[in-house]
Amino acid sequence: MRGFLDRFSIDLDFDYVADKTEIDAVRKNMEKTFKALGLTIKEKSRCAPQYFLKYPAGADERNTIKIDATMPPPRANKYEAAELKEIDRIITCQTVETMFANKLVALIDRYEKNNSIAGRDIYDIHHFFMNGFGYDKEVIKERRLTEIKPFFVELKKFIETEITQTIIEQDINTLLPYDKFKKIRQVLKKETLLFLSDEIKRFA
C-alpha cells in the first residue's frame, strides 16, 4: 500500500494486467521466486495467480501469507510509477485515489462474495478519510454499478447494521500496536459513519 496504511498487512494483492495467454509464464516465474525465497506453496488456484504460502516462523507466530491477483482488474483503475524504498525498486502501483475507491467497495464486496466481514476494511476506510485522501468515483461506479450517493447510503447502512464491536476488535487487534488499537477501537465505527454522512451530504 506504498506506506499509505499504518497497519500490518496479512496478504499481498496485485492487479493482473498481462494478457491471459501469459498466465502460465507468470505462474512459473512466481513459483520460481517463491522457491528462491524459501517459501512453501500450501495451496494455489487453478484459475488465477493466487497462492497461500508458508514461511519459517516461531511456534506462536504467523507463518502464512496470501498472494492474490485480481483478474481482470476494474477498467477504471489508474496506475503510476512509485518508489518502494524498503526494496529499492520503482513499481507500477495503483494511485492513492484508486486504492481508496477499492477499499470503500471492499467491505460490502467481501460480504457478498464470501459472506464474511473484515474489521480491517472499516479501519482502512477510516484511515484514508482521516488522512484526507480522495477516491476515484469511476472505480466505485464500475464495481458497484451505481452512482456515488446511493453507494455511500448503502455502505453507511451496512456498517450500522453489520459491523459489531466484536468484529472490529477480533480482526484489527493483531494488526496494530496495542496503544493505537486501544485508542481506535472505541471510536472507529462512530467516526467512519460520520465521514460517510458527510460524503452523503456532499452529493445531496
Q: pLDDT digit string (tens) for 73-130?
A: 999 999 999 999 988 999 999 999 999 999 999 999 999 999 999 999 999 999 999 9
Strands (E) located in 17-78:
40-44, 51-54, 64-70
What are 42's three cell numbers? 500450501
Is 99:4 a contact under the CB 8 Å cutoff? yes
Predicted pLDDT of residue 58: 87
pLDDT of residue 39 exceeding 90: yes
Cα 197 to Cα 16, 124, 154, 155, 191, distances in angstroms: 34, 17, 11, 10, 10
Predicted pLDDT of residue 20: 86
Percent of the chain predicted with pLDDT > 90: 81
The residue ranges of every structural domain in the chain are: 18-71, 74-204
**Mean pLDDT score, 8-16:** 88
Burial of 76 from C-beta contacts in 10 A (0-12 / 13-18 / 19+): middle
Is 96:133 a contact under the CB 8 Å cutoff? yes
